[in-house]
Structure 1
Amino acid sequence: MDASLRRRRARRPLLPLTAAICAAALAGGCAGAATPGSRMSNPDTTTQAAAMRRAGNDLQTAYETAIRNVLPSVVQIQAGDNLGSGVAYDGQGHIVTNAHVVGKQRAFSVTVANSERLLRARLVSSFPQQDLAVIKLDKVPAGLKAAKFGDTSAVAVGQIVLAMGSPLGLSGSVTQGIVSAVGRTVSEASSGGGTGATIANMVQTSAAINPGNSGGALVNLNSEVIGIPT
């Protein structure tokens, strides 16, 4: 090959990489090509990731909203040697709890969520057959609001729930789980503070329940109390 031919070949411009790719894919309608070091993004993947982030944020907000709405309605109850929880039922100071929490006591010390001051309460009625009782505060403190009670018949397996109460004496505690089953029949022991009752149509949950949670609130993400843990 003579020198002039080599010079002519050396002067031929090189086809840019992107142009070469487009030319090769022209029949397929190439609209653009990646340059070295760039990353192609999949619009579907990006949209799905954004949707997942929004869903996660929405769920987080639902948790926080339910806790903010219901926790001020949950109280701690001291009944002799028994320690349990309760839920404000109305603005007159009526509190729903478990019959085994009140036991044979007629007077109680109550601590609300926004104060450590002990409040006096008295028994209104106890119904051991369903392990339920109602007590009433002598004086309703500021900040105590009635909880919203939901329809237990609408509870579904797999539904997210929160348990609020005073497990092990730790007032204002919240655990989370799902509804594990509905329509359970459970027999309570008559010893160790239980009523000995056989209770039907109970909601089973995976949310952690410990001594002290009894009488508290099982809450859905609509801020409704759907059960009283026992």
Structure 2
Amino acid sequence: MTTDQDDARGRDSVRSALRAFSIVSLFSSQRPQLTMKEISEGAELPSSTTARLIQTLAGEGYLRKCDNGAYAPGPRLIEMAASISGAASLTEIVRPHLETLRAETGETVCFAIKASETEAVYLDQCDSPQSVRHVRWVGERVPLANTAIGAALTGGCAPGEAKIALKTYEKDVSAVAAPIRNGSGKIVGAINVTGPSYRLTEAKLQQMGEALLREISKIEGSSDQRSNSWAI
């Protein structure tokens, strides 16, 4: 049960988050540094509110104070921007390979990255054309534990190896997954093929795993991959 006081605190939290976003969105390649006055005017916030939000953002590493007194994006904000850019680039490269795997396997094929120490997030998918199929959605988060995609993202597969899960954390769903590594050998994402367990026998999963590894080999060998470290 929530109270009026809880609702008010929730609205205040949302308002603070929106104000923080309005501040970080002011920075760009043309405006890499901003004074507190410029931030206050650009975000249309009172000076006292601006000062409080800047202090919080700087304390968390999203902003940093420069020697000249101005503010610039901090290490956490830069890292976040790089991750988003790298993920978007990789998603574009991976997409045609997801479509190839769907056509070859007839099952749902997804691309995911590690979202946290406990979860993966799906960034793209190609749904199975079959009437009975396993459905994911872009932005969905799944646990790293007890999942094929989680094993692939956390080093549970040796190079050239796919992870088979005859049953995942979801009832009656089986999967095969393998990691994508950048030029330095770092795991930057993973692809899985999933479907109903009654249809995906171990032999079928082995076949799909071989197809999956072929496509991942093409991704890892692409010229885009060699020129981009994909440091996600």
The TM-score with structure 1 as length reference comes to 0.29
Larger Rg: 1 or 2?
1
- Flag the structure with more relative contact order, 1 or 2, with Cα contacts below 8 A and sequence separation at least 6: 1
More helix by share: 2
More strand by share: 1
